[in-house]
Chains A and B, each alone.
Chain A
Amino acid sequence: MKPPPFEYHAPDTIEEALAILANTGEEARVIAGGQSLVPLLNMRLARPELLVDLNRIASLAGVSQPNPDMIRIGAMTRQRTLETDSLVSTHFKVLAEAAKFIAHIAIRTRGTVGGSLAHADPAAELPAMMLLLDAEFITAQSGGVSRRLSADQFFVGPWSTTLETGEILEAVEIKTATDTGFAFSEVARVNGAFALVGAGAAANVGRDHELLSARIAFCGLSSTPRLLALPSEIVKGRPFNDELIDHVAAEVWRWAEPIGDIHARPEYRRRVAVALARRVLPLAVQRATVGATS
């Protein structure tokens, strides 16, 4: 299990990286944390002629607050940082909760937010979280071109995104939402393994604790991360009770497009999606209620 030969560049700036990519095309591959790519190299399932390493581009790393209503997470921010960063814990504690489910500490210290998003594993937590948080993806191409894509536009299939050849994911931006409660949970074969199903919920409640809106994002369930915006006729203005939960469960059951693999049949994933929805949504509502009243 040794990688095939390749050339290697580790530029210091985005511009340099984009220039190298523009000159090489399909044979080049970007390496971020390498926690998915290096296994593929070791197994010789990936065979780039050139690796462009983003690890030395300081401007790509870190969490910032460009304006009071927004958190920006640089693509090369380590997944571990999501657990330790104070901006993240203040505004999106759920990201820290979800990050704990990504493999293990020694993977998260190298693995990056952008790497996980660009890799777009359907079982990975962060793509689903970006759908849930309605994140905006900011990309860079050579010649100063930048695109802004919604999470929905970014993920198009299993391990497949709308990133173009030579294009780099630069950051994601997420609008802060103090009135929204979030929660995440996951079922995996063992601790740190890929999700059989993971679910993140977001909920908004009104003054009388009635539900205004709610959505649930899933990883592992389908061939891509998916977001279920619960229909307003189910949730809007309704008190959050067992009857509503049953409606949500039925909606998840109907909506799920579960996949099967050696670990679980589609029927299992559908059932667990419902079970997780029943667990994360009440927690999100509870947190929204605390947020709304505090």
Chain B
Amino acid sequence: MTQSIALTVNNVPVATTVEPRRLLADFLRDDLGLYGTHLGCEHGVCGACTVLVEGEPVRSCLMLAVQADGCDVRTVESLSQGGSLHPLQEAFRKHHALQCGFCTAGFLLTSLYLIESDHDLSDEQTVREALAGNLCRCTGYQNIVDAVMDASATMAATRP
């Protein structure tokens, strides 16, 4: 009782079959070995499993793999290129915006979406609201907010 799907994950075409009930998160993790996407609640609240589907952030625990048929999916593994960290990742490291790192991929992808979709991230309250869909139990959020604001400014400054 499986179905064929074909999608692009981190710019790599993937064609395979899955059970309809298979969650996108489990598909990415256990079928493709992309363990950077973490499952923290499996009911859509914590945001650890956030990935980008068609450029927009979604909970991969609340999407079926069959629903991603034909879609472009990006996970945290796509961020750093050629061994160097993405500016967002650099900012997270510089600001100590991660401790255990379990929620980090979700924050990175949410932030990447915000920056790439030209959200105004110059105001702290706006940033806090935009990040409120990702729970972090370690950092108290302050350094994450600082990192995202810093990365946003850096990326805007270097944009052609």
Contact = CB atoms under 8 A, between A and B. Distances in A.
Given A39-B44, A191-B129, A110 B63 contact: yes
B110 A41 contact: no
A106 B59 contact: yes
Main secondary structure of the interface of A (DSSP, over half): loop
A1 B58 contact: no
Interface stretch (A5-13, A170-178, A195-203): A5-13
Given A35-B44, A109-B58, A192-B132, A41 B21 contact: yes
A2 B64 contact: no
B59 A107 contact: yes
Contact of A105 (B61, B62, B133): B133
Interface string B1-43: 1010000000000000001110100100000000000000011
Contacts of A270: none
Contact of B21 (A5, A53, A80, A107): A5
B129 A42 contact: no
A158 interface: no
Contacts of A138: none
Contacts of A104: 47, 132-134
Given A34-B62, A38-B64, A105-B57, A1 B42 contact: yes
A51 B132 CA distance: 31
Contacts of B73: none
A8 B58 contact: no
Contacts of B44: 35, 38-39, 103, 107
A277 B134 CA distance: 31
Interface string A186-215: 000011100000000000000000000000
Contacts of B59: 35, 106-107, 110
A140 to B, nearest CB: 22
A4 interface: yes
29 contacts: A1-B42, A2-B21, A3-B21, A4-B21, A5-B1, A5-B19, A5-B20, A5-B21, A6-B20, A6-B21, A7-B1, A10-B67, A10-B69, A34-B63, A35-B44, A38-B44, A39-B43, A53-B67, A104-B133, A105-B110, A105-B113, A106-B58, A109-B56, A109-B57, A110-B58, A110-B62, A190-B132, A191-B132, A192-B132
